[in-house]
Amino acid sequence: MPVQIKIQKIFKWAATIAVAGMAGAMMVASAAYLYLAPLLPAAETYRNVQLETPLRIYTSDRRLIDEIGNRRDPVDYTDIPPLLTDALIATEDLRFYSHPGVDLQALLRGLYGIIRGVNLGGGSTITMQLTNNLSFDSDKVYLRKIKSIPFALQIERELTKEEILTLYLNTAYFGAGADGIGAAAYVYYGKEVDELSLAEAAMMISLLPCPSACNPLSNPTRAIDRRRVRLANMLRQGMINQSEFADADRSPITAQRRNRDIEVSAPYVAEMVRQQLYDEHGEEAYSQGFEVVTTIDGDKQLTANKALIDGLENYYDKRHGYRGATANYPKELYVDENGDAKEAWAKELQQVSVIGNQHPAIVTSVDDLSFEAVLKSGQTTKVEWDGISWAYTFNSRNDAWPPPDIAGDAVQTGDLIRLKNMDGQWQLGQIPDIQGALVSMSPSNGEIIALVGGYDFRHSQVNRVITPRPPGSNFKPFLYGTALEQGYSAATTINDAPISRGGYRPNNYENNFLGPITLRYALKESRNVPAVRLYDQVGDDKVLAFAAKFGFQTQNFPRNDLTVALGSQDVQPLEVVTAYSAIANGGYKVEPWFIKEISNLADGTVFKAKPITVCENCPTTSDDVAAEIIPAPRIIDPQVAFILNSMLRSVIEEGSGARVNRELGRGDLMGKTGTTNGPQELWFSGFNRDIATTVFIGFDQPEPLGEREQGATIAVPIWIDFMKVALEGMPENTMKRPDGIEDRLINKTTGAPATPGEPDTIFEYFRTQNAPTADGALLPSIDPAGEENEELSTEAIF
């Protein structure tokens, strides 16, 4: 009896504890529910899934530049084939139709697995997973799971099982920018949901836990393995038979990405568009079917991409030597049972991106004058000596030596390197550490027709077209334009002789002095000392006011700083090309713009651009056409613009831009190089009446590029490569000569009037009011310097 009494007491206490525990658990659960219930979404906020269409960005001829955001195309339950829901239930939630939204058995199994340190499944039902699709994105895993329990119970009370399955499949992310099964069926297979085969349905369900890493586009081998597991689950549950399993398991991957079929790569433009629409519309910019037509000319953009990428590689990076392999993967650590490391190396390469033209590869063998390497695809390729011989050893920006004598001087087995395909032949390459930008604009209305903000957007998202850097001599035309506006002429002479002001002693690139030279010659040869003298004479107030009319933010420039004359102050390449466009169009201020039209699914067209346009003979305001044209304001006299055009033509004919003339042979091109101290930045801006283009080159963290570099060595050839194609088939077009311009025969060196037959003469352009008189006498001169300055005094001839 005592033993029996003792047992009864034990059971009594156990029962009491159990009841108390259950009561406590119920109280905790009730308290948790009461606390969480107000935080749970109401049914009307999630019951109906809305169509989502991503932002699409196009060139001016409607070629796709980018698609940003996810696609969602909701489907009804009647559109979903049973094999799809069977695959989902067999894999994710076998007791879906019998539990109330929470499967206690599965939760306890998952908890037991955590205690034992083994994976027995997470315990989440389809309904609980649906709660994560609908809410709690920012919560941590455990908090999210706790919140999902009352939410799942609420969903089960408010929706039928069929509605839950439909909502789940409409809100799940399937990778490749596809939200929901409707979008996924189209993106991967180009089909409606009810047209999916068994193999395709199983593949879709296999994506749900890891839509990016497991999808058949990014990892076909893994995707097939995961599909097989889903098919086996269906077979085990009797949802399919053995024959159906075998047929589906043998099915090849037929998935192809059908959205985001980019036709013209312009990621820096796409980001500019994305930012503007996000500023205006927030997150809705990515889901409301916005379509943006830009000003970008598709063919010219493709040409600009190639010109900048190839130019940075060939005109700079390869000339400065080979910096060596990124890493080395020793063969002995990667060989398989057959002594081959290629498969293991190829797997390592899956983690390395293609950047620009440069494909990652690992060297598999090295011969005397060639080597072999495996690519990301697993393909092995051979690189011959012609693709290796350039790889002089990089020592510094000014020293690349010695050249390789054999392939082993450049690469070793196991090296992680870069290869570039040139006309079907692979060459040793490397990702340039130099950066650059190219932007091209129409001088008629400021529309941007091509824009490349760097070597590769994936490598660096910094848009160098809108990043301020010192322009060097690219700024000089605006100094000389000021002088012309103040009464100087291209024939005015200025002294190219040593000067000093407050310890500042400018020098010429050639380290020599030429004495008195004309302004045309000084600009053509980009002489620094005459530019500093001229800046001092004209005065910074006039120069900065003149430059401001062209769009430069001169309110931020220092005063009484002679280095401004040489382009020491930061400006954006976009500002520079806009300013040069005003010279090209004859003196009208245009504004840069890049969006022509915006539309969306709900409202149709919501924006059409009305750009400021150069219009020399605009219709009257009563004309209907006038309402469609916003005339560009004139900022300088046409005579000043014409003479400045002609001075920049001299740069192309005989000066630092002479390579342009040699290679393009057109008579309508003008431009100016720019090189800063170091040199750290290289520029070239050039134009005809139809296209103005600026090229910038430099490191993101400014440092010297090498003693031999200047604007003419890198920026000019990149500009040529672009403009050669951009101008193909276009007739020559320059600013027309305006009234009020006269030409006189002058001595080319001194600027003095000359007579026919004299040597070293040219016909120079003058504004009528300061042209030499018919008898050769000069007009009265004005004192451009104001007060006499002993150190900087000079004589001027008009």
Q: How far is CA 261 from CA 187, 258, 266, 598, 620, in A?
A: 11, 7, 13, 20, 46
Angle ∠(732,735,737) on CA atoms, nearest 5: 115
What CA–CA distance (Å, rounded) separates 157 from 731? 74
Q: How far apart are CA 592 and CA 577, in angstroms?
A: 9
Distance spanning both ends of the chain, measured CA to CA:
132
Respond yes or no: is residue 575 known to be catalytic. no
SS3 (DSSP) at 300: helix
**d(C-alpha 358, C-alpha 356), whole Å:** 5
Cβ proximity of 552 and 493 under 8 Å: no
Among 100, 77, 73, smallest CA distance to 88 is for 77
Residue 449, classified by CB atoms within 10 Å of its CB into exposed (0-12), middle (13-18) or buried (19+), is buried
Q: What are phi and psi of 527, to 5 degrees?
A: -75, 130
CA distance 427 to 382: 9
Q: Do the Cβ atoms of 571 and 564 come closer than 8 Å?
A: no
- The residue type at 780: P
Q: What are phi and psi of 769, to 5 degrees?
A: -70, -15
* Residue written as token pair 């390579």: 659
- Which position among 52, 92, 681, 764 bears the catalytic label? 92
How is residue 60 annotated by DSSP? T
Compute how many other C-beta atoms are within 10 angstroms of the C-beta atom of residue 339.
8
Strand (E) positions, 502-611?
Answer: 515-518, 595-600, 604-608
Token pair for 302: 């493709």
CA Rg value for the chain: 36
Contact 733, 689 (CB under 8 A): yes
Q: How far apart are CA 691 and CA 727, in angstroms?
A: 8
Residue 429: exposed, middle, or buried by beta-carbon count in 10 A (0-12, 13-18, 19+)? Answer: buried
CB–CB of 565/471 below 8 Å? no
Does residue 320 sit in helix, strand or coil? helix
- Spot the catalytic one: 473, 526, 581, 656: 473
Sign, Cα dihedral of 46, 49, 50, 54: positive
Helix axes 476-485, 573-584, angle to 10 degrees: 40
Helix (H) or strand (E) holding 534: helix 528-538
473 is catalytic: yes
- List the beta bridge partners of residue 448: 441
Q: Enumerate helices (H) and strands (E) in the chain, giving the number of each.
A: 21, 26
Q: Angle at which helices 82-92 and 161-171 pack, to 10 degrees? A: 90
Nearest CA-CA partner of 518 in 481, 493, 483: 493
- How many angstroms separate the CA atoms of 308 and 450, rounded? 12
Is residue 342 within 8 Å of residue 376, measured between CB atoms? Answer: no
Active site residues: 92, 473
